[in-house]
């Protein structure tokens, strides 16, 4: 693992203990967590990131279909679908990638590779930009309103078709 650690000192110590943290083991560029206009917390690039680069790995506890159904009933959850049977619950052992907000015009996409969820850049990202990904919620689950602010916002985090 390359030692591209997020240099913690000043941001981390000045933040309140409630500020979520990034696990530097799964972050491949300098990133930070800060309050977001989109929703609660967000992840921000602390350096320019080129296109098609691995930015973060999404980690979490592996849950089977039954466990996923139970945990999915919570209002706020961090479940990422790996395949038709497994999800990763980012609220347990999450790398920090679970704080990346949804946007209908995102700058990241998820690449599922050998059971790992890798967040890749779709386009170059500038220092200071918030990282976003399209959650692709199913059209058949209750709609979640979206306030991402993108010109192409579809109004819900759910897919329309
Ligand atoms: Zn939107």
Q: For residue 65, give every residue at least 6 positions away whose Cβ sits within 8 Å of its Cβ, in sequence order, or none.
A: 84, 85, 86
* 136 CA from centroid of ligand 1 (Å): 11
Q: Exposed, middle or buried: residue 76 (CB in 10 Å: 0-12, 13-18, 19+)?
A: exposed
Query: For 9-59+94-133, CATH number?
Result: 2.170.270.10
What's the average model confidence in pLDDT over 125-142? 94
**Residue 130: closest CA among 23, 55, 19, 58:** 55
pLDDT in tens, 33-63: 999 988 889 999 999 999 999 999 999 999 9
* 82 CA from centroid of ligand 1 (Å): 23
Cα 157 to Cα 96: distance, rounded to the nearest angstrom: 20
* 92 CA from centroid of ligand 1 (Å): 27
* 150 CA from centroid of ligand 1 (Å): 6
In the predicted structure, residue 1 carries a pLDDT above the cut 90 = no
* 3 CA from centroid of ligand 1 (Å): 35
Q: Where are the alpha helices (DSSP H) in 58-161?
A: 65-71
* 13 CA from centroid of ligand 1 (Å): 33
Lowest mean pLDDT of 15-29, 81-95, 142-156, name the range: 15-29
* 96 CA from centroid of ligand 1 (Å): 21
Q: What is the pLDDT of residue 7?
A: 55
Contact assessment for residue 149 and residue 38, using Cβ atoms and an 8 Å cutoff = yes
The domain locations on the chain are 9-59+94-133
In the predicted structure, residue 17 carries a pLDDT above the cut 90 = no
Q: What angle do CA 125, 28, 64 make, to 5 degrees?
A: 105
Q: What is the pLDDT of residue 75?
A: 80
Mean pLDDT (the chain) is 90
In the predicted structure, residue 30 carries a pLDDT above the cut 70 = yes
């Amino acid at each position: 693992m390359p030692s591209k650690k997020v240099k913690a000192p000043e941001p981390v110590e000045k933040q309140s203990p409630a500020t979520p943290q990034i696990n530097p083991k799964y972050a491949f560029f300098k990133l930070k967590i800060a309050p977001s206009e989109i929703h609660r917390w967000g992840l921000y690039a602390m350096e320019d990131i080129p296109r098609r680069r691995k930015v973060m790995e999404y980690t979490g506890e592996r849950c089977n279909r039954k466990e996923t159904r139970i945990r999915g009933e919570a209002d706020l959850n961090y479940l990422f679908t790996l395949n038709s049977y497994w999800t990763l619950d980012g609220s347990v052992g999450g790398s920090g990638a679970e704080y990346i907000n949804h946007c209908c015009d995102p700058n990241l996409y998820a690449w599922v590779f050998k059971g790992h969820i890798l967040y890749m850049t779709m386009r170059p990202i500038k220092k200071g930009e918030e990282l976003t990904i399209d959650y692709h919620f199913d059209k058949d689950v209750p709609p979640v309103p979206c306030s991402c602010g993108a010109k192409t916002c579809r109004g819900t985090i759910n897919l329309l078709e």
